[in-house]
Every structure is written in structure tokens, then in C-alpha cells.
Structure 1
Amino acid sequence: METKRTDKDLLIKGVKIMILTALLMFLGPTLVYMALGNKASNLYELTLIVGILICIGAIYAGFFGIKTIMKSMFD
């Protein structure tokens, strides 16, 4: 009977996604904070929308990264 092993290529892919998630987790709230602190600017709405979209992308990437890591270990 063959024992199951961790798929290292898939694990590395999941770790890369989690690194991207960490970057997005800092970038998104920073952009939202900058937008809310500078409401007089012409780019207020654009910066706020981009920041919120990056925050949503960080949440999605986090779930996808965890799913990929779990798949590499238990699939």
C-alpha cells in the first residue's frame, strides 16, 4: 500500500499565493486609509474603490491559498 505524500509543487504554489495575500492585506487598508484621510482630492473615489477591491481580492486570495495548501497535503 502506497502512503500519501505532500505535493511539493502545489504546496509552493499555495505559499506563493499566501505571500501575495499578505501583500494585499497591507496594501488594501493603506489605500482605504489614504483615501479617507484625503477627501478633498480629485482621486478620492478612485482610490477608495481600488482599495476596497484590493481588500476583497486579499480575502479571496487567502481562501484560495489555504485551499491550495490543504489540497497539496490531503488530496
Structure 2
Amino acid sequence: MKPQKTNKDLLAKGVQRMAIALIFMFIGPVIIHSAFKNQDHTMYIPILCLGIAGAIFAITMGFIGIKIMMDAFFGKRK
């Protein structure tokens, strides 16, 4: 049997996800800006796609982190 996760564990997991999201909230736009500054470079499209993927990942991790933190505060929905 798996031990039950406490609210403290869930809160820590949510804060960790939010920290990851915060890091990617800065990395994604910096990469996108770098790609737009070098549009004549051959790696323009792959770098732009990498930046967009980082920005989407940041948004996703933010939502996941908020959901986990809400579960820690208010309990899971049944």
C-alpha cells in the first residue's frame, strides 16, 4: 500500500511546480526574442519553436502547480 500524501507534501509539490513554471516564464520569452533578433539565421525556426514550447510548458506547469496547491488547501474533489 502507498502511504497517504499529506497536505504539506502536496503543497511542497505545488510550490515546486510553480518554481519550475517561474523559471520557464523567463526562459521562453528570452529564447523567442533571441530567435526574432536573428531571423536570417538558418536555425531561426527550430529556436523559435523551442521558445514557444518553453512558454507553453511554463503555462502548463503554472496551471498544474495551482491545481496541486488548491488540492492541498481544500482537499481533493470526489
> Identity of paired residues, percent?
41
Gaps of 5+ in 2: 1-5
Gaps of 5+ in 1: 1-5
Task: Quote the Cα distance in structure 2 between the aligned partners of 1:25 and 1:43.
Answer: 22
Question: Match of 1:63, SS?
Answer: helix
Q: In the comparison of the two structures, how many residue pairs are matched?
A: 70
Per-residue CA deviations over 1:22-68 (Å, capped at 9, x if unaligned) read 00000000000000000111110000001001111111110000000
Task: Quote the Cα distance in structure 2 between the aligned partners of 1:49 and 1:11.
Answer: 32
Structure 1 residue runs of 4 or more that deviate by more than 2 Å after TM superposition: none
User: Could you say which residue in structure 1 is the equivalent of 2:17?
Assistant: 17
Q: How does 1:18-57 map to 2 (within 5 A)?
A: 18-57=18-57
TM-score (norm 2): 0.87
Task: Quote the Cα distance in structure 2 between the aligned partners of 1:60 and 1:22.
Answer: 11
User: Could you say which residue in structure 2 is the equivalent of 1:3?
Assistant: none
Matched letter for residue 40 of structure 1: D
TM-score (norm 1): 0.90
Task: Quote the Cα distance in structure 2 between the aligned partners of 1:59 and 1:51.
Answer: 13
Query: Please, what is the CA RMSD of the aligned residues?
Result: 0.9
